[in-house]
Each structure stands twice: as C-alpha cells, then as structure tokens.
Amino acid sequence: MNELRDLDRLASLAGIEPGWWDFFGQWRQVPDETKRHFLKSMGLSADSDDEALASLLRLEERSWRRGAPATHVVRQGWEISAIPIAFPEGVEKGRWRVLEESGNILSGEFNATHLPQIEERWIDGKHYVMRRLPCPSPLETGYHRLSVELGPGVATETFLIVAPKTAY
C-alpha cells in the first residue's frame, strides 16, 4: 500500500475530512502534514508509511475487538436497523439486554449462528465474525443502553439513540 492511500484511509477512519469548500467555492484539500498533526494529537502515529499502516490496522481492529459500535442512531417510527456485532467465531448463543432511558428493561436471547454475517477477519490468529443483531423495538425516543453477552468473557455494549421523527 502506498503512503497516501494508508494516510487518507487512516484520516477518514479517524474522522478527518479530506477537504472543505472555502468562501469562494474552491475545494481545499487538507494537506498531508495537517492530517499527520491531527492524527498525532489523537494518539495515532502516521509520520511514515509504516506508522500510518500500523495505526490504520489498529484502528480498524478496534471495532472488531470492541464488539459493537459506540452508538447506534435511528429515528423513531423508522424501521430500526440491525446492529453490527463482532465476536470470536464459535460463539453460538447470546443474550441481549436493553436498559431504556425510562428505566424499563427489555431482554432476550438469540442464536448467533442464525444472525446474518456481514464480514469476517483474522486478528492475532483469532477468527472473528461480524453479524447483524436485530434491534429490539419499538423503543421510545431517548438514550438506551444495549448490552450483549456472548459467553464467558465475551460481552459488549452500545448506546441506542432513538431520535424523534422531526425536531425544531
């Protein structure tokens, strides 16, 4: 991989935009040096091609190791999309629990092998799969916490944010 591609992918994953439109309607590209400074301030080394690639791989693996995204946002009344959950291959059964903002608790069980697989990856010699866990619904507008247990020592959490249909 070349440095530009790795650096750009790393910057994008870290939330750094590739550029902006200035006041005069001109597209301005974020210089590589600026991307490197921003990445360094985020704790991601990118001073060289090797460092950028290593940081990129660590950042990509972080979501797999975490198990679920930090947040999952949906609009009230819309079909709630499934939540991507990553876990080591071989997990068969799991339990989920939603603590609603109101204090109400919802819970259930699932067979992990029946969930649609999105992708897979090897990390440190361990095979991980990412599957779509259907989100419990209906949920009221608010911030809710979803906990997923997939066996001893395999658990993850995410915030389910249900936004109103419209806001003024």
The model's pLDDT over 31-60, given as tens digits with 9 standing for 90+, comes to 999 999 999 999 999 999 899 999 999 988
**Tokens 């360094």, residue located:** 40
3-state secondary structure of 27: strand
Helices 3-13 and 32-41 meet at what angle, rounded to 10? Answer: 50
Question: Could you tell me the two tokens for 74?
Answer: 């949906």
How much is the pTM?
A: 0.73
* Sign for the pseudo-dihedral over CA of 105, 109, 115, 121: positive
Q: What is the pLDDT of residue 3?
A: 44
The tens digit of pLDDT for each residue in 60-81 reads 888 888 889 889 988 887 766 7
